[in-house]
Amino acid sequence: MLQGWIQIVITLVIIVAIAPIFGGYIARVFLGQKTLLDRILNPCESLIFSLSGVQSKTQMTGWQYARAILYSNLAMAIIVSSIIFFQGALPLNPTGMSAPSWDTNLHTTISFITNTNQQHYSGETTLSYFSQTLGLGFLFFTSAGTGLAVGIAFIRGLTGRSLGNFYVDLTQAITRILLPISIIGAIALMIAGVPETLSAPIVIPTLENANISQAIAIGPVAHFEIIKQLGENGGGFFGSNSAHPFENPNGFTNLVQILAMISIPTALIHTYGVIANNRKQAWLLFGMVFILYVAFIIITGIGEYQGNPLVNALLGSQSPNFEGKEVRFGWAQSALFAVTTTGTMTGAVNSMHDSLMPSGGFVTLSNLFLQIIWGGQGTGTAYLFAYSILAVFVTGLMVGRTPEFLGRKIEKNEVVLTSFLILLIHPIFILIPSAIALAFPDQLAGISNSGFHGLTQVVYEYASAAANNGSGFEGLADSQPATTSLWWNLSTSISLLGGRYIPLIALLLLADGISRKQPVAMTTGTLRTDTVLFTSVTAGVILIMGALTFSPILALGSVTEAFLIAKGG
């Protein structure tokens, strides 16, 4: 037990140490300040802007920024969908795979363009190397870069700056952040044993019978794996994702993947502190989220270490819950990975979430509901400040102080957009399709577990889609048979699109409106937001809003399941 907790503590210490350093670097990149990569990248970026016709000095409004995202994402989606459709005639297809069904193609394209990477297929048996590497791998960078660009634009708006230029922000997010780290990370993973090859699967005889052969899938995995985690993409090269020994062979690669998936969302809070020139508030917000993150790790870790009491009764002794876990990771690294991947909206898994104890299911689902521990690529930080704006308004009403944030008044438009963003959009794209699927369990849902666990399976799928996470509780017939897979592909596609683009547009309009407000002088009636008291109020608003919206689902799912197990049912 002690060894597992020590591993978790060491990882947390590393996270706290690198976040402000990386956050400062990201701030320098988007403030146009000097970095070590300038001599190499400045000419490259100038060439990219020149060839693409991008006016790098042109500033965009909120609507212009949003339209640029929608148009570019639509063009990328058409290109990648075409690659998947024609993969049978394209190169780098050593096993001669044909195109998947149209609905799987549609769902996959939408899933990857929205930075969700929810997979209703197994990569090694469905997509060619060309589709995986040049199709989905391309979207790994662009979808992550899009989210990072929105996060930076939102921070600029909060601090009274213009939002910037989407195409410039996207380019710099890729060239100066995602690509350099991915190159270094891919090399590290290759050294640690992750394959990187274009060779066909290896066919070998089985141990039981030399006349029977088995195909061992390989491929260009290392570079795919690092950007999958760094960009909070999460889509696995293999069906079992980071539980597969070729994606995540040992403890070192597991640590690299955890640090990769959490590095940007933790750093962006400090990026805000640099850009806003308020490092105190950044540290307070970082501390608030970090405390919630650690609390969720403890809850999940204790549940997994104590194990299933029903199984323990049969064994006659206490044993950790090893169901659905890899022996090389154990209960501690599985719990840490599960909380981190759902907290950061990455969605990769090194164990099966369907096999978590109810406390782990409660935590992972809560992460998808809240979206701020640590949240999506760029958008998680924006959600965090959206909650802060709502907390300013609520607190101002309670104590009779002027609702202001960073010296700008919070008025009707800001409150409407924030409430719309937090209280309506996310629940709509989770609860409504979940209710429809649960109303037709045989025809649509394809649930493998009855009762409360089955309810969690369904709700988790839509929460994962709407939060742009992509992980699955599994146990659903979302890839076969055709009747249920068609439902899951189409219904979750709606949640994927709504959960991605409506909040992005709302965030940009919110930031644009705040940036246009004239700053007001601070007075004795101004509510300061860089205090422990206000940060505590913000935490309360987050938890209360989440509880009011989603507590019935949690009560009917993981909470009730926990009581049943405790009673021996």
CB 325 within 8 A of CB 354: no
Q: How confident is the model over 225-243, as pLDDT tens digits? A: 999 999 999 999 999 999 9
Q: How far is CA 285 from the centre of its chain?
A: 19
Of the listed ranges 402-416, 474-488, 549-563, the least confidently predicted one is 474-488
Neighbours of 522 (CB within 10 A): 12
pLDDT tens readout for residues 459-497: 999 999 999 999 988 777 666 666 678 888 999 999 999
Identify the pLDDT of residue 444. Answer: 65
Mean pLDDT of the region 517-534: 77
pLDDT above 90 for 528: no
Contact yes or no for 558/364 (Cβ under 8 A): no
pLDDT tens sequence across 257-268: 999 999 999 999
> For 468, phi and psi rounded to 5 degrees?
55, 45
Q: What is the CA radius of gyration of the chain?
A: 23
Average pLDDT over residues 416-438: 86
Query: CB-hemisphere CA count at 13 Å for 64?
Result: 12
Q: What is the pTM of this model?
A: 0.94
**Is the confidence at residue 408, as pLDDT, over 90?**
no
What is the reported pLDDT for 523? Answer: 66
Q: How confident is the model at residue 304 (pLDDT cuts 50, 70, 90)?
A: very high
What is the residue whose two structure tokens read 């490259």? 44
Q: Average the pLDDT over 16-34 and give the result.
A: 95
The dihedral through the CA atoms of 538, 544, 546, 549 has a sign that is negative
pLDDT exceeds 80 at position 398: no
Whose tokens are 């995986």? That residue is 132
Give the C-alpha separation, 438 to 92, whole Å: 41
Residue 248: pLDDT band (50, 70, 90) is very high
Which residue would you say has higher pLDDT here, 2 or 110? 110
Q: What pLDDT is recorded for position 2? A: 84
On the 0-12 / 13-18 / 19+ scale of CB atoms within 10 A, 361 is: buried
Q: Kind and range of the H or E element at 431?
A: helix 426-439
Distance in angstroms (rounded) separating the CA atoms of residues 343 and 406: 27
Asked whether the beta carbons of 396 and 372 are under 8 A apart, the reply is no
Q: Tell me how far apart the terminal alpha carbons of the chain are, to the nearest angstrom.
A: 27
Q: Mean pLDDT throughout 540-554?
A: 87
Is the pLDDT at 381 greater than 80, yes or no?
yes
Q: What is the pLDDT of residue 171?
A: 96
Mean pLDDT of 18-31: 96
- pLDDT for position 569: 59
Tokens of 279: 């490092």
121-133: average pLDDT: 93
Q: 297-321: buried (b, 16+ CB within 10 Å) or exposed (e) per residue? A: bbbbbbbbbbbbeeeeeeeeeeebb
Using pLDDT thresholds of 50, 70 and 90, give the confidence band for residue 531.
confident
Q: Helix, strand, or coil here: 216?
A: strand
- Residue 457's φ and ψ, nearest 5 degrees, are -55, -45
pLDDT at 524: 66
The DSSP secondary-structure symbol of 91 reads: S
Q: Which helix (H) or strand (E) holds 329?
A: none
Amino acid present at 172:
Q
Q: How far is Cα 259 from Cα 11, in angstroms, rounded to an integer?
A: 8
Lowest-confidence range among 66-75, 193-202, 529-538?
529-538
pLDDT (tens digit, 9 = 90+) per residue, 153-203? 999 998 989 999 999 999 999 999 999 999 999 999 999 999 999 999 998
Residues 513 and 127 sit within 8 Å (Cβ to Cβ): no
Q: How many CA atoms lie within 13 A of 419 on its CB side?
A: 10
What does the pLDDT read at residue 406? 74
- pLDDT surpasses 90 at 363: yes
Of all residues in the chain, what percent are helix, strand and coil, respectively (each to 5)? 65, 5, 30
Residue 545 has pLDDT above 90, yes or no: no
The confidence score (pLDDT) of residue 88 equals 93
At 91 the pLDDT is 93
Query: Rounded distance, CA 300 to CA 335, Å?
Result: 6
**Looking at this protein, which amino acid is placed at residue 71?**
Y
The phi, psi pair for 198, rounded to 5°, reads -105, 10
Tell me, what amino acid is at 437? A
Residue 3 has pLDDT above 80, yes or no: yes
Any idea of the CA torsion for 533, 542, 421, 178, to the nearest 10 degrees?
Answer: 90
Looking at per-residue pLDDT, the higher value among 444 and 95 belongs to 95
Contact 433, 444 (CB under 8 A): no
Give me the residue spans of the domains in the chain. 2-275
pLDDT at position 388, please?
A: 87
Tokens read off for 4 = 């597992």
Helix (H, G, I), strand (E, B) or coil at 214: strand
Region 517-531: what's the mean pLDDT? 75
Q: What is the pLDDT of residue 389?
A: 86
Q: Which distant-in-sequence residues (6+ apart) come within 8 Å of 413 by Cβ? A: 513
Indicate the residue type of 147.
G
- Predicted confidence band at 433 (pLDDT cuts at 50, 70, 90)? very high
Q: Which residue has the higher pLDDT, 515 or 86?
A: 86
Q: What average pLDDT is seen over the chain?
A: 90
- How far, in Å, are 301, 308, 547 from residue 320 at the CA level? 10, 8, 29
403 pLDDT more than 80: no
Give the whole-angstrom CA distance, residue 7 versus residue 374.
20
pLDDT for 487 equals 86
Band the pLDDT of 336: cuts 50, 70, 90: very high
Question: Could you tell me how many residues make up the chain?
Answer: 569
CA distance 35 to 209: 59
Strands 404-405 and 213-216: unpaired
The predicted model gives 527-537 an average pLDDT of 85
Give the Cα separation of 188 and 186 in Å (integer).
Answer: 5
